[in-house]
């Protein structure tokens, strides 16, 4: 699998920061090179270039169509994180969800 560059987004960037750390740990355990950066919704434009995926918190599901429109001319995947792993900060499940888009 190729290296992945992932942007995690939430409203303010705090909860996504915790989720990003857990995904990075899960990736290291599996020997995968996954760069995960957490940012707030307002910083999307500054960090979206070069991303393989944008994972957004379930509470930002409403923004998925807008983000998809912004990346329509690229290979960037837009993934709405599932509440069941987001709320528990389960990095393994989040990584599984992410990787399912690249199989």
Domains and CATH numbers, the chain: 4-100 (3.40.50.2300)
Nearest Cα to 65, choosing from 54, 49, 52, 75? 54
Q: What is the pLDDT of residue 77?
A: 96
The answer to whether the beta carbons of residues 7 and 37 sit under 8 Å apart is yes
| Mean pLDDT per 10-residue section of the chain, whose length is 103 residues | 88 79 96 94 85 93 91 93 94 98 91
Q: What is the pLDDT of residue 16?
A: 82
Strand partners, 6: 36, 53
The tokens of 16 are what? Answer: 């996504």
């Amino acid at each position: 699998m190729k290296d992945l560059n992932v942007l995690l987004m939430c409203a303010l960037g705090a909860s996504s920061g915790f989720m990003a750390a857990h995904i990075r740990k899960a990736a290291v355990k599996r020997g995968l090179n996954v760069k995960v950066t957490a940012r707030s919704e307002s910083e999307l434009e500054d960090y979206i270039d070069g991303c393989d995926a944008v994972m957004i918190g379930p509470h930002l599901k409403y923004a998925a169509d807008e983000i998809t429109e912004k990346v329509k001319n690229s290979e960037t995947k837009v993934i709405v994180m599932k509440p069941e792993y987001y709320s528990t900060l389960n990095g393994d499940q989040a990584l599984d969800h992410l990787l399912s888009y690249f199989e």
